[in-house]
Structure 1
Amino acid sequence: MNRKDQIVSLYNCAVSLLRQALKYLNENKAAEFADTVESTRQIFYHLYETLDFNQEGGITRHLGALYTYIIGQLYIVNATKNDKIISDLLVIINNLKEGWEASSPEEITKGILKHGALQAGKQTVVSTKV
């Protein structure tokens, strides 16, 4: 799996987890809701950690700011159980995913969109099953 596919896969997982969180919220399953939101937060924390802030250009800074925003919103969601915020996050994450899906391999390999979902020596296991 190449870098682009890894990132898109993590976005897909985050979307699945947030949809599951909405289901748990509607079913009044507080513990499951909190665990699912936390798993989503961990995905974006990992994505943030793997950004290369030494790269020229603004894409990394913008992604970093967006990931920071998403992480902050997930903390608010866990505290407030606000389904509107979840819906807004789903739109943002789907837009991010579509952007990565539309990026060309040349953009990624040239470093224009340098971002590593999984770096050498690290493994991230993400499951949509809760």
Structure 2
Amino acid sequence: MLMNENGFNSYQNNQLEAKAASASPTELIVMLIDGFNDNLIKAKGHMANKRIYEKGEAINRCMNIVIGLDSAIDLQNGGEAAQNLAQLYTYIQSKLLEASSQNSIEVLDEIELLMNNLKEGWQGIS
């Protein structure tokens, strides 16, 4: 069974790499937000089932995605929109830490709503 899972995971990774290679910058951001949301859902499940280590891993992956999105902002040329986006990412990072330390699914729900609104905005651009 492990070989089949590894083969499936390898296939998924190849598909994702192929999709990313042909994606526009906006599509890449949407893909990252999708990955964020997938990990956020996992974090909620782990939190609800008291799987602390796994919750931490999922929230850490979310944090890494937000840090990556934040680091791609062009603050010098992006104007007020870039500043607002950077502030939003900082807020999301602080809320991820809060959710993790308090084991709060409600805070994760708030983050999910913010990221879904952000995703809709990016989809509207493309």
Q: Within 5 Å, which residues of 2 pair with 1:34-49?
A: 34-49=56-71
Does residue 24 of the first structure (1) align with residue 46 of the second (2)? Answer: yes
Return the structure number with greater helix share.
2
Tell me whether 65-74 or 75-84 shows the greater mean CA deviation: 75-84
Q: Within 5 Å, which residues of 2 pair with 1:77-92?
A: 77-92=99-114
Max Rg structure: 2
Structure 1 unaligned regions, length at least 5:
105-130
Distance across 2 between alignment mates of 1:60 and 1:7: 14
Distance across 1 between alignment mates of 2:78 and 2:120: 23
- Displacement of 1:56 in angstroms is 4.7
Aligned to 1:114: none
Aligned residues: 104
Does residue 97 of the first structure (1) align with residue 97 of the second (2)? Answer: no
Which one has more relative contact order, counting CA pairs under 8 Å at least 6 apart? 1
Letter in structure 1 aligned against 2:70: Y
Aligned to 2:37: 15
Root mean square deviation of aligned Cα: 0.9
Percent of aligned positions with the same letter in both sequences? 24
TM-score (normalizing by structure 1): 0.77
Runs of 4+ residues over 2 Å off in structure 1: none
Distance across 1 between alignment mates of 2:94 and 2:29: 20
SS at match of 2:79: coil
- Displacement of 1:36 in angstroms is 0.3
Structure 2 unaligned regions, length at least 5:
1-22
Distance across 1 between alignment mates of 2:78 and 2:110: 30
